Each structure stands twice: as structure tokens, then as C-alpha cells.
Structure 1
């Protein structure tokens, strides 16, 4: 099957003004070994400060584990004195940072860059497995090693370095630039001391839809797929909900057990959940569909049968089969179900009275929190009726007598209670429009920095970023860490042992932010 590879890509974009900056920074400075080592040591120093965000931390001011962030903000001020002198730097909610580089043309909406300073724990049990101590920030000339080196201190250091380089050339922005730095992105779904307060501050100051675009972290954004380099800015991210299932039954001595203990009953519900996944569906506004079409038209080595499945009008079933055959691809078209935490039982000779399971869901574009709840009710109601459990689902008592179908009102409990509770409910994000000028500007800059042969296509992010608090500030939100994943042959190591950042990738990030700021300064609608 031969396809005409018509160009679906916007033109390459380079800054046109101030070619002296291009010659000095892009042409010379960014290629020098001294600059490479300076930027690497900036990131190394940032990694050495263990700004860990744990699940379940108490609020700032009450939990001393937040105090390490004072040291980190001091480090940034020492490392970037020129930035702190020229920009307005504010602290929000104690440890969040807001940098504002005021532009001289107030008719232009600001552009907003985002990052976060917190990191996940390194894990005491796994410390011995690290090649270098996880907070050493060791730099071997090729990689900066340590927790947070990739996620997300690399983006933060690259952004501030790009601004610093522009300041050194006496660049005066036309468009206001804002850099918003949260400190609890990794801290768990129930924490929002940083990003939420930053978003609220910006919303109160500038108003709804006041930002031209928002750019935040994401996957290592330049990947080779089907023999072709793809840049994959995420234009949407999945929703999120945790569902806790609790089985409660009478206890007793283990010498006279019933047919099923609380744990046994819970195991039955777990099997039901895993045996009945959410259906896969590829709908029109899922960014995955746009990516697949771009890949089918522009990639070098895609198998012909897959191209035909993507582009053919009668091949949707075959395409879904392809997506379902790999768990990474499947996550782009299905609400995921992950049995993550199970608890039950206290003692070997005592029957457990309670057993619980925590199930994590990343909600697909076509679904919602409401859809997830309905799924659980329809799936577990028949089971509860069969075993005569009282079903308390998401705040509503829903048990029906399994013999006659009548709603029970007498409060009796023939077997036990099955309780479903949802926590941290987040619907999927809005989808940014790839036909918008902002996506063309972003795509043109990416191709200008990484090469005109790079194919830019939107991606759906399966996780969640701090952008979940920023939806009201702009309809154009993109999530990508702008460096080539191929710089690390071991692949991305974020959130695991031996996290590291290639210095070549770090320099690419500096160059991208440097050029993106300049391109956005020259364009207008």
C-alpha cells in the first residue's frame, strides 16, 4: 500500500529578531564545554537538596519535612542572581515560586511555563541498588545522577538558565513570561498547597483564559517510533479516581471459620473487577487518534497493515485490537484499573472483621468519575445480592434482598457490609486544539530546535500534572519534557532506581526554552 506523504506539519520556526542572540547563545555558548559543565553543576546542586514530597504530609507550617524547601529556594537565588534581580520573584503558599518577566506590550497575553521542585522518595530499601547515592547529584561528564534529576528539576533548571542567557544578552520581552514552580506535585492526590495556590493567584491577577498558552512537564518528548523521530506534546491528560472497597463481616476464632472470610469475600470482588475491565474506545477528540493518523502518513517504517487499519474507514476494530495488545497503548484508549493496596487481618488465629482494597483508575477521555462509579455499582450489586451483603456505594445505601428484589428497610445484616468509597475525583482534562495557532507555534519551534524531520503529534498523558489546577487559565495547555529520549540508552528512569539526566538532553531543554520564549515573543494572533 503506497500512501502519499503529504505534509501535515507546520513550517519550521526560528526567531527572526536579535540575530546577535542567536549567534552568541545558540551558535556558540550552548555548544561550549564550559557552559555544558556549568548547567550540569546547576542541576547537580539542585538534586543534592532532598526536596521530597511524601504522601499524607501535614500542611506547610505543621509538618517539618517541608522545611527543606527553604534551602532549595535559597539555592535558586544564589545560582541565578541575574534572574532574581531582573524578574519579579514571589513566594506563594510558603514554598511555591512565581517568576514574572514583565513584557512591554500589554496587549499580548502572557505565556506560562511550569515546573515543580519536589521529588518522590528514593526508597530506603533500594538505596543500595543506586549506582551513586540518590541525592549525590553525581555528574560523570555524561549524566547527572539522582532523584529529581529528570523529574522535574531538569525542566526548572533549564527554564531559569534560558531566561538567564537571554538576560545576559539584554533581551527585553514584548510578551510577559511567567514561570510557575509548584512544590507538591508528587505529594499525593489529596495535597494541593502549591500548584492550586499558584493557579488561584494567577487567576485572581489575570483572569480566566488570560494565558496565551501553558507549557508543563511530561514524557521525554522526542521519541523514535516506526523509524521516525516524533515530538509528542500532550494536549490532554486522563482523569483520576481511587476507589476503596471494604468488606465487613463478623469476626471470631479461626478454629471455626465460615466458608469465606472477609479476605476471601474481598478476593472475589477483586477477581470481578479485574475480569471486567473498562471497554477500550477510540473517539474523535482523543489525541491518540491524531497521533496515529500522523504516524500512518509520515512515519518511515510502519507496517502496511497497521497503516491501513489507521487510515481505512472500515478498520476500527483492527485498530483497537492493535492498541489493546500492548498495555502502554491500551492505556491511551481505556480507563485503567490497578489493584494497588490490600489490607486485612490482624492475627493468625483471629478471623478478620474488615478487609479493604484500594483501586486506582486513570480515566479515559470518553469516561468520567461518574462512569467509573456506575461501573462499580453495576458490577458489584449482583454479587452483593447473591451473598446478601448490604451495599453502601459512594454514600448511597443500595442493598436489595436477593430473594425478592425488594429494598431492605429493616437494617438487618445477614452476611456483612460492602462499602465503596471514592477519593480524589478528577475528570479527564479538556483537550487542547491542535488547529490553534499556539500548537503551530509550538510545533514550529520544536522542529526548529530538533530538526525539520521531527514529526510533531499530540499525545494523551496517562498520568496527571500540576496543570489540573490551571484549566481555567488557558484552553491551550501542553505537557512535554523537551529532550530526546535516545540520549539515554537505558531509557527514562524517573521514579525508579538510578534516575539520571543526560547532559545532552539538559542542554536541548535549555535551547528549546530559550528559542520558544523568543518565538512566542514575536508572534501574535
Structure 2
């Protein structure tokens, strides 16, 4: 027994040594004690005015496209054409499906694969979370269990009319300033400036201005993808919205900016479950009603969700977030072969971190009886799933069917499922040049791959490139992040200047290294 105890002690000692060694040698990010100031990029009054005027167009998109103000869309595109005559006289423009605009800047070397820059000019309604499909309206990068509350009075009204384009105190106010007319105008300003300098890119540059990203892109980006596939075009790299540069304090213990570059995107599917039972008067109910059966199914789905998994974007992000953690947190990340269960349990405590590690389950709609004394013969439940890369909508369907065992149900998907994207590589020119540009504009900023949780228009582009990156080069504090799809959205002029510089840099420098 004594020998056995010694042997077990030696094994435990060796195990502890391995854990400590792996913790201290794990490639966590190297942190800096200070965060340098971002680069100051001057912006002309003329450039600011062109952007501010563009915010005055009420280009709201709705799930029911019959509500869309299409004449305003037409007026907006006419305004853009008149505001940037040099761009539209030098680039070929094509209108697809009535409102999807595509600009093509011919390069000097047709043998090179082109680049695609995506943006959208539709916006959500001025009221917070009205009609939009994918509202965020919060600090999406706050990984703490108890995020600090933000002052709600700041989001109870607009300080300036949402379509005023007011310019005050270094800010450009209006719905869509960040999401995503800022990128629309930054791209146009970049091209306009480079044309004035007589710059000619080596490879063709495509710029897409999409009309309905906020409601799924089925009228715009989906038709654009079909058009480009029919032309036989494949892109070297596609750039779209997604992550941002988040201000210091986003991750615990890290006092530096963090640039979140989306290298993958979750899929989305909503399944409707029709649970059948016995209808009639509530005075003579069966032992189990349709509503009761639906409640059991919902409880099964919430209590037994699809398993957590660690995928590459999240693993890479954990190497950044872990750098500011204490020894226990770093130990769990560095030794997931032993502590992954503990790590997942901790991540599951916050909605943001949980969403990075699993296909999420959200019960969003219920429909039962119209009367308080009437038994519904059928109860409908709609559940929204955000699908982690590596799983499919069919995996989700199989998961639902298992939860419905023992009950008579019908299951359908009211909208076409969007499968999760492939994971783009973090080596090669596409990702590297984003890092280079961020380093110049935001010195001292940590750059991390990231899983984009909300849907973007590049979900339609998966067949057109192996390298799709979702990133908008703006530095946002928690207040500014929360203004997205909320009240008081604005773009600082400093951020706008850096956006113009960022896209100019990518277009000029892509083929220089």
C-alpha cells in the first residue's frame, strides 16, 4: 500500500508539473501596460458633408418588403452618383434586381483574383429594435458575468432626429451612421481619393452596396451572389462588416483595444413546432393539454441543448482573453484536455460567451388559444437557433425531433435555413493586411479572430471565396456599441477618417507584400 501511495503521489506531482508547464508556456497574447492613442486622420468638411447628407435618406428595410420606401432607395443611389462623379465615371456600375448596386474598378493585371468590399445602405427603423432581424443593441464583446449597466436614459430618445445627419462636437449623427452607411461612404471616399491620385489597383476591385442586409439580404446580396457565380467570378478575399475595435476593458484584465476580426459566421434557422392535443372547453380538460405538451418540449430543448464545442475562432480569442485572467482561468484554457468541462461551464454563465461555444436555443414565439376558457387543439412554438460552424440545420432538426418524442407534432421552417459559414484562414494576405492596417491606425491594439454571431450579407458569398473577413475598423466604447440598432447612433469624425484610411490602405497595399 505504501508503494502504491508513493506511486500515486508521483503521478499527481507529474500531472501538476505538466499543468503548470503548459499554463506558463501557452501562447497567450503579450499584454502592454499602456494603450497608445489611435492615429488621427484628417477628414475634409466636404467628405463629412457627403456622408452626413447620405444619412438624411430614410432607407429603412422591413421583413415585409412591401413596407420598404423604394423611391427613397432610388433617390439615395442617385444622390451617391451625383456626390461622387469621379467614382461613377471611372468604375463600371451595375444595378441588380432593382436595388443592389455593384461597382467594378478594373485592375492592371486581369490574371489576379479580384477583391470584394461589401456594405449595405439599408438601415433599421429609428425606434430601438423595431422590424430588424438581427438587432444587437448591447456590448456584444463583454464577456463578464455581470456587465456594468449602461445609463438607460441615453437610449430613451434621439438627441437629434434620426435622419438629420446632424454634425456636432466631432460626431455625425443618424440611423445607419455605424451600421452601415459609414462603410458605404468610407469606401466611396477611398476610391475617390485614390482616383484623384491616379492610382490603379493590380487586381479588379468590386464594391457592393446592398439594399436589404438588415432583413436577410434575399433581394440584394443573394441576387448578387447568383450574378457573380453566373459570371464565373471567384474572389481572392471578401471584406464585410462584423467585428470592431473594442475599447480597453472589454476583456477582464486587458487594458488595450481588441480588434475582433470575424473569420466565421454562425448559421441561423427558426423551426416551428405544431404540438397537437385535444381541443374543447376548459371545464373538461384532458390530463395533458397541447399547451402542456408544448411546455414539456420547450423544457427539454432548454435543459438539453446542443453540446458546447471549442472551434478555432473561439480558441484563438481565448488566447487573447486569457492573457488578462488569473492563474486558474489561464490554467483551464491552456489545459483543455483536462479542464474543458470546467471552462465550458464558466462560459455558459454569460450569453455572449455561451454563444461562442454552442448552437444556441431561443424560444421566440408561442401561439395557443384565443380564449381563456378554450383548449387549443394545436399549440405553435417557434424556436430560433444560431448554428455553430461544424453543425447544420439538419443536426438541429434531429435534435428537435428527439425532444418531441412521445408527442404528435409537425415541424417546419418558416424561412429558408442559413447554414454556418466555413472558417477562413488566419494566414495569408487577407488576414495579414487587416492586421497591418489595424496596427497602423490603432497602435498597441490586440487583433484576434472571432466568431461573428449576428448574420451579415457575406453569408450568401460562401461559394465565391475561401477567405471572407468580417470587420469594421472603428473604435467603439460600450456606449457606442449599444447605440447600434438603438437610439442615438452616431459615427465620430475620428472614426470616419480612420475608416477611409483603412480602405485606402487595403486597396493600395494588398499586392505590395
TM-score by length of 2: 0.82
CA distance in structure 2 between the partners assigned to 1:270 and 1:363 by the alignment: 18
- Structure 2 residue 445 is the aligned partner of structure 1 residue 459: no
2:275 is matched with which residue? Answer: 247
CA distance in structure 1 between the partners assigned to 2:42 and 2:473 by the alignment: 17
What's the offset of the Cα at 1:490? Answer: 4.6
1:69 is matched with which residue? Answer: 73
Whether the aligned pair in 1 keeps the contact of 2:129 and 2:486 (CA below 8 Å) is: no
Q: Once the two structures are superposed, what CA deviation does each residue of 1:288-310 show, in whole Å capped at 9, x if it has no partner?
A: 112222444xx4x3322222222
SS of 1:495's equivalent in the other structure is coil
Deviates more, 1:42-51 or 1:147-156: 42-51
CA distance in structure 2 between the partners assigned to 1:128 and 1:3 by the alignment: 47
What's the offset of the Cα at 1:112? Answer: 0.8
Whether the aligned pair in 1 keeps the contact of 2:173 and 2:489 (CA below 8 Å) is: yes
What's the offset of the Cα at 1:107? Answer: 2.2
1:408 is matched with which residue? Answer: none
Q: Once the two structures are superposed, what CA deviation does each residue of 1:60-98 show, in whole Å capped at 9, x if it has no partner?
A: xxx763332101101111221111111111111111111
What's the offset of the Cα at 1:458? Answer: 0.6
Cα distance change, pair 41–340 in 1 and its aligned pair in 2 (3 A): farther
Q: Runs of at least 4 residues of structure 1 off by over 6 A? A: 4-9, 124-128
Whether the aligned pair in 2 keeps the contact of 1:175 and 1:520 (CA below 8 Å) is: no
CA distance in structure 1 between the partners assigned to 2:122 and 2:82 by the alignment: 19
2:503 is matched with which residue? Answer: 513
1:195 is matched with which residue? Answer: 221
What's the offset of the Cα at 1:477? Answer: 0.3
Residue of 440, 452, 468 corresponding to 1:448: 440
CA distance in structure 2 between the partners assigned to 1:263 and 1:460 by the alignment: 36
Q: CA RMSD in A?
A: 2.7
- Give 1:341-352 correspondences, 5 Å limit: 341-352=365-376
Cα distance change, pair 493–261 in 1 and its aligned pair in 2 (3 A): same
SS of 2:69's equivalent in the other structure is helix
Residue of 83, 95, 98 corresponding to 1:94: 98
CA distance in structure 2 between the partners assigned to 1:465 and 1:305 by the alignment: 36
CA distance in structure 2 between the partners assigned to 1:133 and 1:345 by the alignment: 41
2:3 is matched with which residue? Answer: none
SS of 1:491's equivalent in the other structure is helix
SS of 1:481's equivalent in the other structure is strand
Residue of 329, 343, 346 corresponding to 1:306: 329
Deviates more, 1:137-146 or 1:512-521: 137-146
What's the offset of the Cα at 1:466? Answer: 0.9
Query: Aligned residue pairs: how many?
Result: 455
What's the offset of the Cα at 1:129? Answer: 2.5
CA distance in structure 2 between the partners assigned to 1:42 and 1:342 by the alignment: 45
What's the offset of the Cα at 1:439? Answer: 1.6
1:426 is matched with which residue? Answer: 418
What's the offset of the Cα at 1:6? Answer: 7.3
What's the offset of the Cα at 1:257? Answer: 4.0
What's the offset of the Cα at 1:170? Answer: 1.8
- Structure 2 residue 48 is the aligned partner of structure 1 residue 40: yes
CA distance in structure 1 between the partners assigned to 2:165 and 2:290 by the alignment: 47
SS of 2:343's equivalent in the other structure is helix
1:336 is matched with which residue? Answer: 360
What's the offset of the Cα at 1:330? Answer: 0.9
Q: Once the two structures are superposed, what CA deviation does each residue of 1:303-330 show, in whole Å capped at 9, x if it has no partner?
A: 2222222223533223223322221011
SS of 1:51's equivalent in the other structure is coil
CA distance in structure 2 between the partners assigned to 1:490 and 1:223 by the alignment: 10
- Structure 2 residue 409 is the aligned partner of structure 1 residue 381: no
Q: Once the two structures are superposed, what CA deviation does each residue of 1:176-221 show, in whole Å capped at 9, x if it has no partner?
A: 1110121111124xx61110111122222243xx211000011323
Whether the aligned pair in 2 keeps the contact of 1:135 and 1:147 (CA below 8 Å) is: yes
Whether the aligned pair in 2 keeps the contact of 1:445 and 1:519 (CA below 8 Å) is: no
Cα distance change, pair 255–315 in 1 and its aligned pair in 2 (3 A): closer
Q: Once the two structures are superposed, what CA deviation does each residue of 1:6-57 show, in whole Å capped at 9, x if it has no partner?
A: 7989xxxxxxxxxxxxxxxx999x425xx1x433333322222111111132
Residue of 436, 439, 448 corresponding to 2:431: 439
Residue of 322, 332, 343 corresponding to 1:319: 343
SS of 2:319's equivalent in the other structure is helix
Cα distance change, pair 106–114 in 1 and its aligned pair in 2 (3 A): same
SS of 1:181's equivalent in the other structure is strand
What's the offset of the Cα at 1:109? Answer: 1.5
- Give 1:183-222 correspondences, 5 Å limit: 183-188=211-216, 192-207=218-233, 210-222=234-246
- Structure 2 residue 201 is the aligned partner of structure 1 residue 173: yes
- Structure 2 residue 508 is the aligned partner of structure 1 residue 485: no
1:293 is matched with which residue? Answer: 319
1:397 is matched with which residue? Answer: none
SS of 1:90's equivalent in the other structure is strand
Whether the aligned pair in 2 keeps the contact of 1:96 and 1:194 (CA below 8 Å) is: yes
CA distance in structure 2 between the partners assigned to 1:93 and 1:426 by the alignment: 21
CA distance in structure 1 between the partners assigned to 2:352 and 2:51 by the alignment: 30
Cα distance change, pair 337–175 in 1 and its aligned pair in 2 (3 A): same
SS of 2:331's equivalent in the other structure is helix
Where does the alignment leave 5 or more consecutive residues of structure 2 unmatched?
A: 1-19, 31-37, 131-154
